[in-house]
């Protein structure tokens, strides 16, 4: 089979040979002698021009070459006389794999992103989503490569879990109980003993706790898996199902954690800049002229590091009228984070030492008794892209915190055990994969960087 993907054909200088290209027709135009077909197979943003002499084909074949149809073309690869492309095919034989008709929703260019979300089954065939999906792949590959190159092991943590890592109670229940006839125990509560797992279970919000167990055996690990949050956040930065990358490192303190997070983001974004130049250029042109500059800035600028308390001082001293008041002890809102990154420092920021009451139970308490050794990495346009911390490795302090925060101690017996047997200083963080893809593609809505977004009231496809 001479089938060659379009990316390779367009880069080829081996002309005057017979080749076969296969793909989906973007457009067909022409005159009474020739048809010009733009063919795309998703291997690159660029389409290949096919030139067909009408006299050499039967009328029905040409009629079937409509927008959306899938075809196979065999012909001679020639140097293109047109500007902007190297090669084109002079067709000798065209086979129609699958016809399309005028009801194909992607007839003309320029659909809104909102409309394309309604046809998520077809949107990968648009230039925009082709680019997004290729960049998404390149980033996933770069992440695995980054960790593999540095001696980290990939760990598969469970998707169904009996514990709530973030302690926020925003979990989806997993059950096989008959919801129309829920069994009750003598106290009148749901009898989970009769459920599939014999206890209450949920979809995980994070693989961190199990990741920590692995780090306390293999030293350097990372997870890359789906996570689920039942938070009713209808924002351009929240999904109910998203992918998270969570490295966990034995013997790392907060400073080491920050260094890794910064180097990691610079490296994977650098990989995308190097390997997805065509797609980034296309998205820059269509949506966001500043995209490439913003990506270059991440790679070249040292991230600004400061404590939460210092950030509160800056926000309080600013003249800006925020919707949410700035107060030590309150969580920072996206408007505060964006002010720090976009208007004050003009570069990514790593905020550390948050008040312990607004952070999860597992974070290491600082010597001041008020803050924890947390770190959030804030990016322009996105806000928080990474959240992480040094972990509490002291058994008594950890147990106290679990109790103080009203969590179920019994759910965490195994986690507490690691603080009894060979505990060590360790740290880790979580990167929201879609927020990274959003940053690198410049897409303003997170629903447009995952093939099938899951958000409140939306689980189509």
Q: Given the rule CB under 6 A, which residues bind ligand 4AD?
A: 165-166, 206, 208, 229, 238-239, 242, 244, 246, 384-389, 428-430, 432, 434-435
Nearer to ligand 4AD, 11 or 416 (CB): 416
Smallest gap from residue 374 Cβ to ligand 4AD (A):
9
Give the span between the Cα atoms of 175 and 196, in whole angstroms: 7
Inter-residue contact 228 to 443 (CB < 8 Å): no
Smallest gap from residue 430 Cβ to ligand 4AD (A):
3
Nearer to ligand 4AD, 160 or 289 (CB): 160
DSSP notation for 11-80: H----SEEEEEEEEEEEEEE-SSEEEEEEE-SSSSS-EEEEEEGGGS-HHHHHH--TT-EEEEEEEEEE-
Smallest gap from residue 389 Cβ to ligand 4AD (A):
6
Smallest gap from residue 217 Cβ to ligand 4AD (A):
17
DSSP 8-state symbol, 124: G
Based on C-alpha coordinates, what's the Rg of the chain? 27
Smallest gap from residue 442 Cβ to ligand 4AD (A):
17
Going by C-alpha positions, the residue among 184, 188, 16 that lies closest to residue 88 is 16
Nearer to ligand 4AD, 69 or 351 (CB): 351
Smallest gap from residue 267 Cβ to ligand 4AD (A):
17
Nearer to ligand 4AD, 37 or 268 (CB): 268
Nearer to ligand 4AD, 26 or 435 (CB): 435
Q: What is the dihedral of CA 85, 86, 90, 96, to 10 degrees?
A: -60
Smallest gap from residue 168 Cβ to ligand 4AD (A):
8
**Alpha helices by DSSP H, 235-288:** 254-275, 277-287
Nearer to ligand 4AD, 94 or 209 (CB): 209
CB neighbour list of residue 105: distance below 8 Å, 6 or more residues apart:
111, 119, 122
Q: How many CB atoms lie within 10 A of CB 31?
A: 8
H or E element: which one contains 114? helix 113-118
């Amino acid at each position: 089979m001479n089938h060659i993907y379009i990316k390779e054909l367009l880069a080829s200088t081996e002309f005057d040979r017979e080749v076969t290209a296969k793909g989906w027709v973007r457009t067909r135009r022409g005159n009474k002698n020739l048809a010009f077909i733009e063919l795309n197979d998703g291997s690159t943003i660029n389409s290949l021009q096919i030139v067909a002499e009408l006299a050499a084909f039967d009328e029905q074949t040409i009629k079937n070459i409509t927008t959306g149809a899938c075809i196979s073309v065999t012909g001679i690869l020639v140097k293109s006389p047109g500007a902007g492309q190297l090669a084109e095919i002079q067709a000798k034989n065209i086979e129609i794999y699958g016809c399309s008709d005028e009801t194909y929703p992607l007839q003309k260019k320029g659909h809104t992103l909102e409309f394309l979300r309604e046809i998520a089954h077809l949107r990968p065939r648009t230039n925009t989503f082709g680019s997004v999906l290729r960049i998404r792949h390149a980033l996933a590959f770069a992440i695995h490569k980054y960790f593999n190159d540095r001696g980290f092991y990939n760990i598969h943590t469970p998707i169904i879990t009996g514990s709530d890592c973030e302690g926020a109670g925003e979990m989806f229940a997993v059950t096989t109980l008959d919801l129309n006839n829920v069994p009750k125990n003598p106290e009148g509560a749901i009898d989970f003993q009769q459920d599939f797992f014999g206890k209450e279970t949920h979809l995980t919000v994070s693989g961190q706790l199990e990741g920590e167990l692995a780090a306390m055996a293999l030293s350097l690990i990372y997870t890359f898996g789906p996570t689920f949050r039942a938070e009713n956040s209808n924002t351009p930065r929240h999904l109910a199902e998203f992918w998270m990358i969570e490295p966990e490192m034995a013997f790392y303190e907060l400073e080491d954690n920050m260094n890794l997070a910064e180097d990691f983001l610079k490296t994977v974004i650098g990989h995308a800049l190097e390997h997805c130049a065509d797609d980034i250029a296309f998205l820059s042109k269509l949506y966001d002229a500043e995209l490439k500059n913003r990506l270059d800035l991440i790679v070249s600028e040292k991230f600004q590091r400061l404590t939460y308390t210092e950030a509160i001082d800056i926000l309080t001293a600013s003249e800006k009228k925020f919707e949410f008041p700035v107060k030590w002890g309150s969580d920072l809102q996206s408007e505060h984070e964006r002010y720090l990154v976009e208007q004050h420092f003009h570069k990514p920021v790593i905020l550390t030492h948050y008040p312990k009451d607004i952070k999860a139970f597992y974070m290491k308490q600082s010597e001041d008794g008020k803050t924890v050794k947390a770190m959030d990495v804030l990016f322009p346009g996105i806000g928080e892209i990474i959240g992480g911390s040094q972990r509490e490795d002291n058994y008594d302090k950890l147990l106290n915190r679990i109790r103080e925060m009203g969590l179920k101690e019994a759910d965490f017996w195994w986690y507490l055990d690691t603080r009894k047997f060979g505990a060590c200083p360790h740290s880790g963080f979580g990167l929201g994969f879609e927020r990274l893809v959003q940053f690198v593609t410049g897409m303003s809505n997170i629903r447009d960087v995952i093939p099938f977004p899951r958000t409140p009231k939306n689980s189509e496809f």
